[in-house]
Homo-oligomer: A and B are copies of this chain.
């Protein structure tokens, strides 16, 4: 039986403590225990404890951080819940596909399931930190789910796949990979490095970015870069800088 010790649920700016408690309960019902809260409006909270019922332990061990970026810094797979279509489409998963993806990871890969604010969901900056977006299929005329309900559906599908996985493990293409997946923090450093080089070579103007970094993130976010690949990309950038600098000296 797979445990979910490598998976965490991240709630970004939850405004109602009741939803934090109800999310903790939903998580524990489905076998998940790690909760991270990004700038919750009110936490700890007696209301959260009441709604958590017998999942108070999930609340007690919840980690509070200041930014989504730090919440996912060590994660190799980040999936964000999104109700809407975006201007620049992102790789979308159904809840079942989301669950299958997580189960197919090595259990050393840290995984974050990210949920947004009750009223507005994840914003574009948040969503760009995600490798995939997951959308819960819903009534077209009213597709805004309660936060804890969304957590429940995603965790329920995850639990269901584990039950099935004991009979039949769908091998993912990364199952037998020869390298560890790069962490979110390492990939962020690569983006920063690439951005510096693009500015140096006059390809990118931060004053007039034209969504360039957005597209770069979507490009490399789809790859799930491994460690050796990251080293190759960083090496290329470093050599470009050296070559240019060498000429300038």
Contacts and interface: CB of A to CB of B under 8 A. Distances in A.
A229 B215 contact: yes
Interface in A82-131: 85, 88-89, 91-94, 96-97
A219 to B, nearest CB: 5
A149 interface: yes
Contacts of A54: 142, 144
Interface stretch (A6-14, A64-72, A170-178): A170-178
Q: Mostly helix, strand, loop or mixed at chain A's interface?
A: helix
B89 A176 contact: yes
A216 B236 CA distance: 11
B219 A232 contact: yes
Contacts of A153: 152-153, 156
A167 interface: no
Interface string A126-163: 00000010001111001111101100110010011001
Interface residues of A, number: 77
B232 A215 contact: yes
A78 interface: no
Given A94-B170, A153-B156, A203-B239, A146 B219 contact: no
A198 interface: yes
A113 to B, nearest CB: 16
A22 B239 contact: no
A232 B218 CA distance: 12
